[in-house]
Each structure stands twice: as C-alpha cells, then as structure tokens.
Amino acid sequence: MLSIVGCGKKTFSPEEKYERVARYQKLIWKDSLTEDEKKFKEEMDEVVAGLALKADDQDSKEWMAALLKYDEEETRKSIEEFRKEQEAEKTKSKGKISF
C-alpha cells in the first residue's frame, strides 16, 4: 500500500508503519548493517526525530501509535516469557524429594 502523494512524500498504512517500526527497532541493536539497512535506518531516524516537531500532524500520530504498539507488544512478550520461566522453575523445584 505504499503510495506517493503529490508532494513526493511516501505514505504507509498503520500496519506498514508498525512493520517498519519493528524492523527499525531490530536494526538499532545490530552491529553491522548492509547498505539497504543503513539507508532504511537513516530514513527512520529522520521520521522518529520529526515526530516531536510535528506532534499534531495525523501522520505523526500514526507513527507514534506504531511505536507504542511495538513497545507494548515487546513488553507483553517479555512478561509472558518471564512467567513461563518462573512456572518452569516452580515445577522443577516441586518435583523431586528423595530420602
């Protein structure tokens, strides 16, 4: 759904924005980037930097929503993983009693 509007600005659906945010977040922590990844990261750096300046803009609100959704998803995944680890530890410690 990538389309180019009259002013030459790319527009993305909310789902595409989320996918781009997720890709961007993974690239932030990567040590070495390909040329394509570097270009993408620079583009997203500009988007993120511009969010504070255009906070009332609808497009900026959608980008912020995508960032928040990504953070919420990652937090939820981390919590679920932690709970599973805690359950596994409980089952291990309850299991064996030997004399």
Helical H segments across 1-99, by residue range: 14-28, 35-51, 58-95
pLDDT of residue 29: 86
- pTM metric for this prediction: 0.58
Rg of the chain on CA atoms, in Å: 20
**Band of residue 88 on the pLDDT scale cut at 50, 70, 90:** confident
Task: Using CB atoms within 10 Å of the CB of residue 17, give its burial: 0 to 12 exposed, 13 to 18 middle, 19+ buried.
Answer: buried
What per-residue confidence (pLDDT) applies to 14?
87
Residue pLDDT, tens place only, 22-40: 999 999 888 899 999 999 9
Q: Decide if pLDDT at 5 tops 70.
A: no
Integer Cα distance of 45 and 58 in angstroms? 19
Angstrom distance (rounded) from CA 41 to CA 24: 6
